[in-house]
Structure 1
């Protein structure tokens, strides 16, 4: 296609204030993704907006398989519809109390505060 710019799974953007670590979740505007590499603020970085990733969550949160998952800004913890957060995807398996991570299928669509 003449108008094809890039694959939609990986989007290249400038890193926000503080930069990004490889594997870190980030919201830039209304776009949530996982950083492909570690970069400093302003550097170009590819972020994955689709796929399944293991994300940190509040150890006390109980998330059922198939539940919507939201992340904080910066998305250092994820939880299921309990606070005003940014929706990022769907849990592909349950993650109960005491578990520090949840496996999430990213939606790949724009997000906004829930």
Structure 2
């Protein structure tokens, strides 16, 4: 294919804030997992596909697999709260309340509004 550029499951972006390896990072409509740590304004690689153990909102129970998981815009944590948070994927395992992490399969398609965002007119 003449117009193919790259697989793009790992992309380099400018870190919007200081990030640690494994953080969920949002840059505009792009969301990925930081491959390494980076200071704000420096280049960081983001993995946009795959399955990860991510930091989550501790006081949420993920009671079944397949729940839509979002990136909490205020905390940067994985959450089941849609609100105005962008979707990042689905959970693959139950996570207790409380628990610090959950297993999430990234959906690889970011910047898509959630149903709540569409209903609120934020999309």
Shorter chain as normaliser: what TM range? 0.7 to 0.9
1:59 aligns with 2:58: yes
User: Which runs of 5 or more structure 2 residues have no equivalent in the other structure?
Assistant: 115-123
Alignment of structure 1 residues 1-114 onto 2, 5 Å: 1-16=1-16, 18-63=17-62, 64-73=64-73, 75-81=75-81, 83-112=83-112, 114=114
How many pairs does the alignment contain?
A: 113
Q: Which runs of 4+ in 1 moved over 4 A?
A: none
TM-score computed with the length of structure 1 as normaliser:
0.85
Superposition RMSD in Å: 1.9
Q: Which has the higher contact order (CA 8 A, sep 6+)?
A: 1
TM-score, L = length of structure 2: 0.80
- Cα deviations across residues 55-79 of structure 1 (Å, max 9, x unaligned)? 1112221112111111112553222
Structure 1: stretches of 5+ with no match in the other structure: none
For 1:82 and 1:34, how far apart are their aligned partners in 2? 19
Structure with greater helix share of residues: 2
